Amino acid sequence: MAAPTPARTFADLAREGLEVEVVCQKCGRTSVIDPTAPALRDKRIGGRRYRCSAAGCRGIGLPSLKPKTSLWAERLARHAANVRK
């Protein structure tokens, strides 16, 4: 049985239900990159430079792969927390 090939492009990540979360090492700003964006779909993941887009920061971004969470699940969790208060 052949091992599955690793994700090489952003489109591969989208198929696997993953997204890239990038954290700036200077200011701590977090950004989530949408792997289905047309400009990134066919771009390779490895070897890319991630820079912070905050005004005046331009720090190096540290990427990590995360499972894609639905916005609905996050809103439901926030609503449940507010109802408990």
The pLDDT tens digits for 50-77 are 899 888 898 999 998 888 766 667 777 8
Mean pLDDT over residues 19-31, rounded?
91
Counting residues of the chain whose pLDDT is more than 70, the rounded percentage is: 91
Sheet holding 61-67, edge to edge: 30-33, 18-24, 61-67
Q: In degrees rounded to 5, what are phi and psi of residue 67?
A: -70, 140
Q: What pLDDT is recorded for position 60?
A: 93
